[in-house]
Structure 1
């Protein structure tokens, strides 16, 4: 808080130095803070100016008037009814052309009224985003007081609250043009349709709403907790949107995290009054009651986490031994009876295991194996081959001859099983730990670098390049490690790779059984065996495992190696693989292609089954998911950390030696010194750019990140450093200093 107070004082001094100031004023919290301090420091020598253009909603214009009146500052509104031709073409840098025109208007007004400076509300957080409009105002030499005071978006809100601004917690707003996809021409009619639709929805008391225009479809974005308002008012919404000119609307969670999930989409057609809805965002969690009481708190938190992401989570604790719950057929009837809008089902604890029999399986011999695909297909026909039970309370049902029945063989939902093995540890404790790390992953406190390991033993080694291309659907090529040298793929080499906290995703191709992996020598005369017991001793760090390993997910076996990846370490979240000899018939090609755009692993897995798995029962019907299918590797959108650690801002230095802080808040260097920058990122820093007076001087791609000032002449310098990671995320720090060199 002390640092924030110092920044506020610096901000006041920066504004006071300008003597007369025009503020580009939208009524948002950033420009409101600048306007408030300008009025406090300069009084009548401050002027807030709002450009009233077709992309500026009327409701925001009224808000700007209200906030200006609240501050007490003089407020001028300039009507601009036309938009430039380049802007209307809607290129990716459209904001540049818009801001350029606005800057010219404001500079012309400043010259007319005798003002030297025009300020705006750009803050340091804006530089971590794609903001082409900033280039336009920089060309116009706008004054960025929040940047010069090193104030972030979060700090803006804290200061606005401290100064009593009523809009301190106002949601961020963007212009109406941002609702139209790049390269689709902007028209005045489209802007009017968007504004009318948003005004109507705001009249229904939504906290935040955006309507995006896409081929006459209205894509409505609202916060997850307000989705029910859409359903309550759906008929009226359909009627009004149709009257405005839209053909249908698509409902999405407001992308608070920047991620929009396909499974959160409702499509409602507006066609002659007929409404069709296809919302599949319900998740059913079936819990063995023998573990339910012990993990109830974790399940409640899991349900809350899912709801924040737009899922509707329903938990059903059931006691094994109760009628209608021991037999897979009855479990499936229960799922079918609750299948309206169902996206998937998660089985927690000892939920009955369906089995499937093929007469010509491995080596053309009959095979019987666990088959959770039975629960995924809700309308196909499955013949019962055998069923029974014993005195120990174990009931089994074996199915065969899967056909379309009255529906199809394709799955309607996905299924994931979270069922620990007692040989690893106490079931309740293992489940508590699993849901604890699931929560940590969703909330960001458990994270890894976005790296993948593709480990391929001898028989598939020649396909390394092809398999890597599959993984490139979700990981950058440079972040995928491929190990497929037949002379290296051994037990110890694999262990050495997975023991390190290095990978988020591991894809393994190796001969296996329920209890071990077998790594062949290049001459195929012998192999190294890695047993589940040996694997248990070694720390495994990945979150996600794709095991192209026969029988690895046969969870009926107490020492199932797939379950070990899920529960035998501190990171496992989801494991994909087969309970039988076989696997993904296309070695994951379709799955990874679908995962690129799917909402979650479950959706991609279900699509793979529909397109590939159902065609090859004897090879693919053992494929299943252990763990949580609602997850998916997160796209790295977190900017790196970057800080100019030397010199300190607001201090006096003589030949690199710190003398004292300066009451003026200025940074003064007498004699040369080396400017030092610290930058870090979970996925490593890709580059650090050094800008001196907004001119890129040089780029460093490795530590140390330093700028030697010995060859710079005496004068004032604005130095900005921009750190970027390998995903294009960037962050920056800035210092303005006076250098007196000899």
Structure 2
């Protein structure tokens, strides 16, 4: 067989495979509300990059916030993204992942490859079970939705993915996602919370909400003596670094987080509804109601605080920060720990990456495996708008 005939056969086979995959997807996995997309013939434009964004909105509440979503769509388009709004009704998290997977791997122009997604309102999530001895029994894991080509195992068929059984280097994210959902809070009206959030988001984007380009790195006693926290915090040259064991306490933190910082990074013992500060062997608490009742000034929070962003828990701290005062984006964990070994994350922010992309790239930090922290960091999530930058 000559080379020309072989090439024609291969082209025919790839074409049949691509069309078959697309037909199967639209028959079984596509949400009814979505318009058909082009069949998957690949054309790469080296000078371009993925710019396609999907905003998934819980269909039962879409009519209540449609004007906010439309304005957000316009803001993202002005930022240079190609945006689709998807009214989503399916509660199956695997179907949501399949939907994202399709738009990541099937495109006619590299700009139409899925870059990231935002989930608005109550949306499906996956549960993981840490197979290591010290891990929590189960926790929400958004990495499942971001890793579009890895292997995930539900050994007992009980709805929990045994995280830690994957092959080394298998579960890395191709995209990033973030959630915007006040439904876990019982101290505010949902409709008002959405409206307030998108208003301040637009204000930041048009320059009417701003802060001095400064950050607070606030470290309680357990981590205070470890080196490198401030030198690895590369995104801000104007950094207030508080790690004095005689200083860190409830009153001081409340005073600091009502000051005019752009970014606050907190390391403190926590559960889902309270931070705990060690004061000479006694514990002082900052509760979610403190966050709600005090006028917080910062726009962005990175919480190295156990369970603070477990969005399945009522009145969790991460959601409370997000829908209080001026906050736009919160990073934290649904389990113990948080965004550890963070220099690559802040490097990416310094270089102008959007928060979601900095978060995605951070998962590739080789130090996470070097220090055997892959399981612990798997619970890190983003709440709020992931398409913002600090410049």
TM-score, normalization by structure 2: 0.81
CA distance in 2, matches of 1:317, 1:367: 33
The corresponding residue for 2:202 is: 439
The corresponding residue for 2:100 is: 335
CA distance in 2, matches of 1:483, 1:457: 8
Check conservation: 1:382, 1:400, Cα contact below 8 A.
Answer: yes
Residue number among 539, 542, 548 corresponding to 2:298 in the alignment: 542
Change (3 A) 1:622 1:520: same
TM superposition outliers: structure 1 runs of 4+ over 3 Å: 385-388, 401-405, 612-617
Change (3 A) 1:494 1:378: same
The corresponding residue for 2:375 is: 618
Check conservation: 1:382, 1:402, Cα contact below 8 A.
Answer: no
The Cα of 1:416 is off from its aligned counterpart by 0.6
Q: Secondary structure at the match of 1:572?
A: coil
The corresponding residue for 2:34 is: none
Check conservation: 1:585, 1:619, Cα contact below 8 A.
Answer: no
The corresponding residue for 2:258 is: 499
CA distance in 2, matches of 1:517, 1:429: 26
Check conservation: 2:219, 2:242, Cα contact below 8 A.
Answer: yes
CA distance in 1, matches of 2:61, 2:350: 35
The corresponding residue for 2:344 is: 590
CA distance in 2, matches of 1:293, 1:351: 16
The corresponding residue for 1:531 is: 287
Structure 2 counterparts to residues 689-704 of structure 1, below 5 A: none
CA distance in 2, matches of 1:266, 1:497: 47
Structure 2 counterparts to residues 132-531 of structure 1, below 5 A: 267-268=46-47, 279-319=49-89, 325-339=90-104, 340=107, 341-361=113-133, 364=134, 366-385=136-155, 397-401=159-163, 408-420=170-182, 421-463=184-226, 466-471=228-233, 473-476=234-237, 479-500=238-259, 502-522=260-280, 525-531=281-287
Check conservation: 1:424, 1:564, Cα contact below 8 A.
Answer: no
The Cα of 1:598 is off from its aligned counterpart by 4.4
CA distance in 2, matches of 1:535, 1:377: 33
CA RMSD of aligned residues (A): 2.1
Structure 2 counterparts to residues 662-673 of structure 1, below 5 A: none
TM-superposition CA deviations, 1:146-171 (whole Å, max 9, x none): xxxxxxxxxxxxxxxxxxxxxxxxxx
The Cα of 1:584 is off from its aligned counterpart by 3.0
TM-superposition CA deviations, 1:327-380 (whole Å, max 9, x none): 11111111112224111111110001211101325xx25521111011100010
The corresponding residue for 2:354 is: 600
The corresponding residue for 1:196 is: none
The Cα of 1:266 is off from its aligned counterpart by 5.5
CA distance in 2, matches of 1:583, 1:608: 12
Give structure 1 stretches of 5+ with no counterpart. 1-264, 269-277, 320-324, 389-396, 635-742
CA distance in 1, matches of 2:126, 2:295: 32
Ranked by relative contact order (alpha carbons within 8 Å, sequence separation 6 or more), the top structure is 2
The corresponding residue for 2:29 is: none
Q: Secondary structure at the match of 2:294?
A: coil
CA distance in 1, matches of 2:316, 2:178: 16
Residue number among 378, 387, 390 corresponding to 1:630 in the alignment: 387
CA distance in 2, matches of 1:386, 1:442: 46
The Cα of 1:312 is off from its aligned counterpart by 1.0
The Cα of 1:403 is off from its aligned counterpart by 6.3
The Cα of 1:404 is off from its aligned counterpart by 6.3
CA distance in 2, matches of 1:365, 1:300: 41
Q: Secondary structure at the match of 1:352?
A: coil
Check conservation: 1:402, 1:409, Cα contact below 8 A.
Answer: no
Q: In terms of Rg, which structure is larger? A: 1
Check conservation: 2:250, 2:285, Cα contact below 8 A.
Answer: yes
The Cα of 1:413 is off from its aligned counterpart by 0.2
The Cα of 1:597 is off from its aligned counterpart by 1.6
CA distance in 2, matches of 1:536, 1:469: 32
Change (3 A) 1:365 1:311: closer
CA distance in 1, matches of 2:84, 2:191: 20
The Cα of 1:399 is off from its aligned counterpart by 1.1
Check conservation: 2:302, 2:339, Cα contact below 8 A.
Answer: no
Q: Secondary structure at the match of 1:382?
A: coil
Check conservation: 2:178, 2:383, Cα contact below 8 A.
Answer: yes
CA distance in 1, matches of 2:389, 2:118: 15
Change (3 A) 1:542 1:266: farther
The Cα of 1:534 is off from its aligned counterpart by 2.7
The Cα of 1:402 is off from its aligned counterpart by 5.8
Check conservation: 1:381, 1:403, Cα contact below 8 A.
Answer: no
TM-score, normalization by structure 1: 0.44
Instruction: Indicate the larger mover: 419-428 or 305-314.
Output: 419-428
Check conservation: 2:318, 2:330, Cα contact below 8 A.
Answer: yes
TM-superposition CA deviations, 1:552-594 (whole Å, max 9, x none): 1111001100111101x221111011110122342x1221122
Q: Secondary structure at the match of 1:280?
A: coil
CA distance in 2, matches of 1:402, 1:317: 33
CA distance in 1, matches of 2:328, 2:141: 20
Check conservation: 1:291, 1:427, Cα contact below 8 A.
Answer: no
Change (3 A) 1:466 1:414: same
Change (3 A) 1:562 1:401: closer
CA distance in 2, matches of 1:299, 1:346: 11
Change (3 A) 1:281 1:442: same
